Every structure is written in structure tokens, then in C-alpha cells.
Amino acid sequence: MVGKQVGQESEPSGGAGGRQLKIEVQGLDVIGDADRKGRPRQLFWPWFGANVSVLGLSYGSFALGFGISFWQALTAGILGIVFSFLLCGFISVAGKRGSAPTMVLSRAAFGVRGNRLPSAISWILTVGWETVLTALATLATATVFERLGWGGGTSTKVGALIVVTALIVVGGVMGFDLIMRMQTVITVVTGVLTVVYIVLVLDHISWEAVASVPSGSAQEFIGALVFMMTGFGLGWVNASADYSRYLPRRSSGAGVVGWTTFGASVAPIVLLVFGLLLAGSSAPLNEAIAKDPIGALTTILPTWFLVPFALVAVLGLVGGAVLDIYSSGLALLATGLRAPRYVAALIDGVLMIAGTVYIVFITDDFLGQFSGFLTTLGVPVAAWCGIMLADLLRRRRDYDEIDLYRPSGRYGDVQLRSIAVIVVGTVLGWGLVVNTSASWLEWQGYLLDPLGLGGKSGSWAFANLGVLLALVVGFAATWALNRSSVRAQEALAPAGPGAAPVEAGRL
């Protein structure tokens, strides 16, 4: 989840468009039909730009860390990346059938105020991601400075943290206009220098060493698969419709799904392949990436390219974090906070800095904490995703935009059934995941022994089945229970524009 941008022909309010820079004051806005232009194929570029980052190389090491072979890791990675971004593609359809951010459209399933629960989960997820990206940018800068003999200790990390967080917080507070200008530069520079990096380190690949990596069990393969899902698409589903909402309602649903999935998947797959080859060729490099995923990649570079690499790494991570702080601000507003958008962004910035200080200066196990964070939040997000998908598939009409903001409207105030489903899916899911590297998560995995899966030390302990179970429970329960309520909602006269019928069951 590394950077987001919108690539439609028209810009939402606050877009760059040559306007004078100013703080964006708009929050949970509706995009009017007059401002919705473009075609589904234009979704390729924002999703591609969002996921082309050197961090993708480190996922090769993360996958091999599950104790599987190159081919198993490659298969798990491709399946996890494509399937999880396919979920993003499906959720993106809600955007062109509505005109509001993803976590506002989610009100159709949870109720206007009942949706505060998934909005809070989404907020925690995006704040967590921006914290992770900020910490990685800080660590990468320190590593480069150390190699160049310019420092690299605590003072360097503090300086890097100040610069990186200043860029992120300023971008988040200023809003969409400044962010889009930053993203234009970041996407081009990151893409070009990443290709240069790959060319420079090609001679470090040893196919003999890669081929000798032993195979793992089916359970370890599933664990890697789920990790890739949570690290990529499941980190985006809660914001997927934010981009497609600028497309006309008549846009092809299949096109929205296809271009979103393809654009988001192609860069991570290429980077994963190369990352697997690098990590499989060198055990020391593989171990170093677990502690410093970006900085470790500099150890095989010629000295002259260290500064350009630091630039590409930091810019890519900052680009992701600045969009995350923007999205997390919107999610915080969706929880019910009554404050301007820029105030919400400032609140998230303070939390981001605190989390970064912990990762950089206190913990020495980045991968363990990162894995625990992804898996733990991946469970409720997967449950929400299943609910959202089933609810979307049931609908024959576009969302009623006015009722999305009215507790007394057709979507109701609190939909207890959906809240119960996400709670049950989360409780079941957390019972089937284990994170031994994160001490604060030792309570998880409580269902592994009762279900005969070997307990917390058994072969299924690290398969992280809970994420998949939460997704299935969310979808199946909602599909089975919400048909009558959706039909009742759609039988009501429209409260405003946006209720044009579409083919039954059509995405």
C-alpha cells in the first residue's frame, strides 16, 4: 500500500489543475454527475503508481520467511496479490454506482451511524500504514547515511524523522491539491530509479542458491498467501471506491474491476519476482531485510547510487504515507468526529509520529510487529470486505446519495445485523491467527486447539486461516441475510439523484 492518486480527466474539488495552493477544507464530499468523467482504463495509472515502490522487493524476503521455496513463494505471492486486488476491483464498482468515499458508501450496509465501527477500523488501518511507511523512510535514510560515513545513529534518525514527517503532515494538512502535485513527481522518479536499481543488482542473483531453498508445508504456503493478501489488496479495500467515484455511472463495471486489478497487480508482481531472487540468493540479505526492509537493499548497491536510492525509497514511502494520512483523516471524520478535515489530518500526524518513534527507537523486530499488525487488522477488514461485497452484489440500483447522510433514510441509523456479522467474523478470525513475534498479540489463536488444528504450536498455527474465514463469514452471512432488507430499501422512492436502475446483480 504505497501511495494513491486519481487519474481521471476531471479533477475533484481541491485538485491541482494549476490552482493556487491552499488548505483543502472539504471532507466527506459528494461528487456531482457534472464532475464525473473519464473511462475505466484511466484507473490503471493511479493504481500502478500507487504500488510501484522498492518496498515491493522486500516482500520477497517476507514470503520466504514462511519457510517455503522460491516457486511456492512466487505462487503464493501472485495469487495473494491478484486475488486481493480483485477484491479492490469489486469494491471500486461501488464508487461508480455512488458518489462518495468508500467508508460513506459502507453506510448502506451498516447504517449511517452504525458504520462508525468499520470506519474506526479503517482509520486504525490507514494510521498504521502511514506509521509503517514513515518508519521505513526514517530507517532507510539512516542506513544510507551510515554507508556513506555521514552518521546513521540516533541523531541521523531524529533528523530524518523530522524531515519525513514534516513532508507527510504538511501534505496531509494541505490536502488534495498539494498531494497530487507531489505524487506526479514521486511516481515518475520512483518508477525510473527502481528500474535502475534492478539493473545494478542483477549480478547478485544466484539461481543455484534460489533453487536450493527447501519447500515448505501446505500450511506455510497458506500463511504466505494470506500475508501477501493483507500486505497488498486488503490494505486498500477500505479506500477502493475513492478513485472510481469520479467515473460516470454508465461506466462498465467489468472495466472498473479489470483495470483496477491489472493496474494494481502488475508492478508488485514484477517487484516480488526480483525480490524473491535477491532474498533467495543471500541468506544474510534475507535476514537483514526483516530488520530494515528498505535499508538492507542498499547493502548490495555501488556507493555512487546510494543517494539516488535513498531518494527513490524515501519519496516512494512518503508518497504512500501522505495519501494515507489524507485517507485516514477522511476515515476519522466518518467515525463521527466533528472537525475540519485538516484537523483530523493533524491528529493522525501526531499518532503517526508516536508510532514511528516506537518502531525506530524502541522495537528491534520490525517484521514481527509488521506481520502482527497486518494480520490482526486484516481479520476485521476482511470481514468488512465480505459484507460490503455481498451487499453490493445484492443491489440493483445505484446508492441514494442523500440517504447515505440521513440516519432516518432508507439505510437506517444502525444495522445491527451487519455489526453482528463483522464482530462474529472478527472473533472467529482472531481465534485462528497466531503472532508469536508480537507479545501484545499472544492472546490470539484461541480456537486452534478446540478445533483440532494443533494449537498455537501446531502446523496450522501460522497459516493465518482467520483472515480467509472472516472474509467468507462476512460474505456468506450477509448474502444469506440481507436480501429482503435491500429489496425494501430499493422499493422506496428516491430521496435524491443517483437511483437509476441497472441490470439485476450487475457490478
Strand partners, 501: 397
**Residues of the chain with pLDDT > 70: what percent?**
88
Percentage helix, strand, coil for the chain under 3-state DSSP, each rounded to 5: 70, 0, 30
In this prediction, residue 365 has a pLDDT band, given cuts at 50, 70 and 90, of: low
Which pLDDT belongs to residue 499? Answer: 40
Which pLDDT belongs to residue 24? Answer: 55
Neighbours of 441 (CB within 10 A): 20
Read off the C-alpha cell for 414.
444502525
Which of the two residues, 387 and 296, has the higher pLDDT score? 387
Read off the C-alpha cell for 433.
491467527
Read off the C-alpha cell for 28.
466527506
Residue with cell 517476507: 62
Q: Is the pLDDT of residue 30 over 60?
A: yes
| End-to-end Cα, the chain, rounded Å | 25
Which of the two residues, 452 and 18, has the higher pLDDT score? 452
**Residue 265 and residue 303: Cα distance in Å, rounded?**
32
What is the per-residue pLDDT across 329-363, written as a single tens digit (0 to 9) for each? Answer: 878 888 888 888 778 888 988 999 998 888 888 87
**Residue 243 and residue 43: Cα distance in Å, rounded?**
8
DSSP for 410-473, please give it. Answer: TT-S--HHHHHHHHHHHHHHHTT---TT-GGGTT--TTTTTTTS-GGGSTTTTS-HHHHHHHHH
Distances (CA, A) of 39 to 85, 292, 440: 19, 40, 46
Which pLDDT belongs to residue 180? Answer: 59
- CATH classification (class only), 33-367: mainly alpha
Indicate the average pLDDT of the chain.
Answer: 84
In this prediction, residue 277 has a pLDDT band, given cuts at 50, 70 and 90, of: very high
- What average pLDDT score do residues 57-76 get? 94
Sign of CA pseudo-dihedral 356, 358, 362, 366: negative
Quick check: helix, strand or coil at residue 492?
coil
Residue ranges of domains in the chain: 33-367
Read off the C-alpha cell for 491.
422499493
Amino acid at 465: L
Which pLDDT belongs to residue 317? Answer: 79
Where do the H-state alpha helices sit in 149-248? 154-174, 176-200, 207-211, 218-231, 241-244
What is the rounded radius of gyration, in angstroms, for the C-alpha atoms of the chain? 22
Which pLDDT belongs to residue 2? Answer: 40
Q: Is the pLDDT of residue 190 over 80?
A: no
> Taking the model in full, what pTM does it have?
0.83
Read off the C-alpha cell for 67.
519457510
Strand partners, 397: 501
Return the half-sphere exposure (C-beta side, CA atoms, 13 A cut-off) of residue 449.
6
In this prediction, residue 225 has a pLDDT band, given cuts at 50, 70 and 90, of: very high
DSSP for 66-131, please give it. Answer: TS--HHHHHHHHHHHHHHHHHHHHHHHHHHHTSSS-HHHHTHHHH-TTTTHHHHHHHHHHHHHHHH
